[in-house]
Structure 1
Amino acid sequence: MLTHRKMNYGALAAMLALSIGTTVAQTAEATTPTPAAGGQDAQIMLFWFLLSTLALVLMVFVLLFTMIIVRMKPQLRKVYELPTVHDTWSGKVLGLLIGDTRLVTGGYKEEDMGHSYDGITEFDNDLPPWWKYGFYFTIVFAVAYMGYYHVANAGELQIAEYETEMRQAALLVSNEPDDPNKLTTYTALMAPADLSAGKSIYATNCAPCHGANAEGKVGPNLTDEYWLHGGEINQVYKTIKFGVTSKGMVAWKGKLGAKQILQVSSYIESLQGSKPANAKEPQGEKATAGKSIAAK
């Protein structure tokens, strides 16, 4: 009876696999793209079709295997209970198929070691196999990791990987005029008309945070030698244009034109050393000698 069932399930599995294989071959032949009508898209579609078909074949195989195990469970249990099979490694694998988890959880000797304290008794039991297998895996992983990263130097460590990612990110930074990482090369405007326009722009947009005379309120004092973001007129231009979101400085590039930003930047530079009343305490670092205004 057992042999007959084996033959039936084996024949069914063989027929199903042959049928699927024939279908896959025919479909692959029919859908193989030609250089004229195929192209890369057709190749990708074919790849995913074959991958899906392989997954389907594996699912069918697992289903058939499970059905065979379920039907043959009584016969497998009799084989498992044989003394010559029960305690062997292959017998433990067979036991796992019919519900005995000794291969994973291990067995219990129940051998009292003679140590007892506060109602707790020590037994001589082995560690669970799953724990030991996991421990062995960590050893193998550690050796492979050490060899790959520190002996062969085939992989990048954290710092090198970070530097590589930063270089890759730099390649993606825009080179357009609105690139916040690209410093301009302007010089301060000295014409009275430009400074007057800058003063008007400052009074309308900047005075609420920096004070009417740039003495500093919510924002820093713009008339002393100390600056938060370093640089000269172009640094001021950059700070006004792109802002400093983390410190509440808004970006003015969508509200002021390039010339207007340069005018107000030049006006701020002209206020250096004016020492207004009620000036806010210095913030940041002192400007380097020989350099012009730095951005607040």
Structure 2
Amino acid sequence: MRLVATLLRGPGALLALTLVARPGLAQAANTAAPAGPAATGTQQLLLWFLLGTLALVILLIGLLTATLVVRLRPQLRRLYELPTVRPTWSGRVLGLAVGDTTLVRGEVRDEVLDHDYDGILEFDNDLPPWWKYGFYATIVFALGYLSYYHLSGTGQLQGAEYAAEMQQAALLVSADADDPNQLTAYAALTTAGDLSSGKSLFTTNCAPCHGVNAEGKVGPNLTDEYWLHGGEINHVYKTIKFGVQGKGMVAWKGKLSGKQILQVSSYVLSLQGSKPAGAKEPQGEKEAPAKPVARL
């Protein structure tokens, strides 16, 4: 007991109390930890309450204003008829409250001009103010748009915005071998063995749509310089591996290995300029072959 009393009276009192209170503090911290989502929910409820209250106040002010305008309409009419009030801008706004829409429709004078086109007369009336001010607003907007996007270069044009969005989207896609957005860096195979294997695979799997000599049937002609999805070896590889959705070109990923797809792609490029009989009309964009490819 004396030891305990000494600790409580001396410098060790704080340490002893901390050790004793530590489990309680930990328990309190664990209890208070889940309060984060509850606090967030309370803040959201408070925000919606304030927004609802603000909307209700605005509605009440609008109703009171409309009631006052209806009750004071005779007095407002007499005020509007004053010659010093009616021509002014505030007077025209006041005219809307008493039923005069000149501020919106403009002055309708119905003055006949001395123009006569086959009996058709022309009136000299003002353009509606809402139309004129809207036109002025479009001029201001056009100047701001020109300055922001073209002169200062602060804003991104359509092409730059598209490129930025594509870069952001690429970050969300895995960059592995099964990523259709990642183009491979293969070179075309030119050995006789690879081209022979590619020809065998092409005859078995591709000839029903593209023809035995790749002249084109349901699918396009693969022997000319025109390509729908790119004629470089890696573009052909990508088309064969992932297919083309909605165009009838099936994906051969999982059916052929990567080496087999490269062999077929290389064989297809070896047929460039072979001009088979009954070749289908060109389709797509013209592309010159990047490098000559050996043929069988």
Same fold (TM over 0.5): yes
Partner of 1:262: 259
Q: Is the contact between residue 104 and residue 129 of structure 2 (CA under 8 Å) also seen in structure 1?
A: yes
Using the aligned pairs only, state the percent identity: 52
Do residues 288 (structure 1) and 290 (structure 2) align? Answer: yes
Q: Is the contact between residue 226 and residue 282 of structure 1 (CA under 8 Å) also seen in structure 2?
A: no
- Summarize the Cα distance change of 1:97–1:241 in structure 2 as closer, same or farther, 3 Å threshold: same
Distance 1:51 1:97 in 2: 29
Distance 1:191 1:292 in 2: 8
Amino acid at match of 2:97: L
Q: Is the contact between residue 115 and residue 122 of structure 1 (CA under 8 Å) also seen in structure 2?
A: yes
Deviation at 1:99?
Answer: 1.4
Amino acid at match of 1:137: A
Partner of 2:133: 133
The alignment yields a C-alpha RMSD, in angstroms, of: 4.2
Partner of 1:86: 86
Distance 2:153 2:248 in 1: 45
Distance 1:133 1:209 in 2: 62
Distance 1:236 1:210 in 2: 14
Distance 1:144 1:104 in 2: 26
Q: Is the contact between residue 189 and residue 262 of structure 1 (CA under 8 Å) also seen in structure 2?
A: no
Distance 1:126 1:193 in 2: 81
Q: Is the contact between residue 149 and residue 157 of structure 1 (CA under 8 Å) also seen in structure 2?
A: yes
Deviation at 1:268?
Answer: 6.3
In structure 1, the gaps of 5 or more residues are: 1-33
Distance 1:80 1:41 in 2: 52
Partner of 1:76: 76
Distance 1:123 1:194 in 2: 82
Distance 2:113 2:266 in 1: 86
Deviation at 1:79?
Answer: 2.8
Partner of 1:206: 206
In structure 2, the gaps of 5 or more residues are: 1-33
- Summarize the Cα distance change of 1:266–1:59 in structure 2 as closer, same or farther, 3 Å threshold: same
Q: Is the contact between residue 190 and residue 293 of structure 2 (CA under 8 Å) also seen in structure 1?
A: no
Q: 3-state SS of the aligned residue for 2:291? A: coil
Normalized against structure 1, the TM-score is what?
0.64
Q: 3-state SS of the aligned residue for 2:51? A: helix
Deviation at 1:46?
Answer: 3.2
Q: Is the contact between residue 113 and residue 122 of structure 1 (CA under 8 Å) also seen in structure 2?
A: yes
Deviation at 1:212?
Answer: 4.2
Partner of 1:59: 59
Deviation at 1:93?
Answer: 1.5
Q: Is the contact between residue 243 and residue 250 of structure 1 (CA under 8 Å) also seen in structure 2?
A: yes
Deviation at 1:281?
Answer: 6.2
Residues 30-69 of structure 1: pairs in structure 2 closer than 5 A: 36=36, 38-69=38-69
Normalized against structure 2, the TM-score is what?
0.64
Q: 3-state SS of the aligned residue for 2:206? A: helix
- Summarize the Cα distance change of 1:105–1:221 in structure 2 as closer, same or farther, 3 Å threshold: closer
Distance 1:66 1:248 in 2: 65
Deviates most, 186-195 or 97-106: 186-195
Do residues 148 (structure 1) and 148 (structure 2) align? Answer: yes
Q: 3-state SS of the aligned residue for 2:154? A: coil
Distance 1:104 1:193 in 2: 79
Do residues 165 (structure 1) and 162 (structure 2) align? Answer: no
- Summarize the Cα distance change of 1:152–1:52 in structure 2 as closer, same or farther, 3 Å threshold: farther
Partner of 2:239: 239
Cα-to-partner distance string for 1:135-177 (whole Å, 9 max, x where unaligned): 3323333343344334444323344334333433433443133
- Summarize the Cα distance change of 1:198–1:38 in structure 2 as closer, same or farther, 3 Å threshold: farther
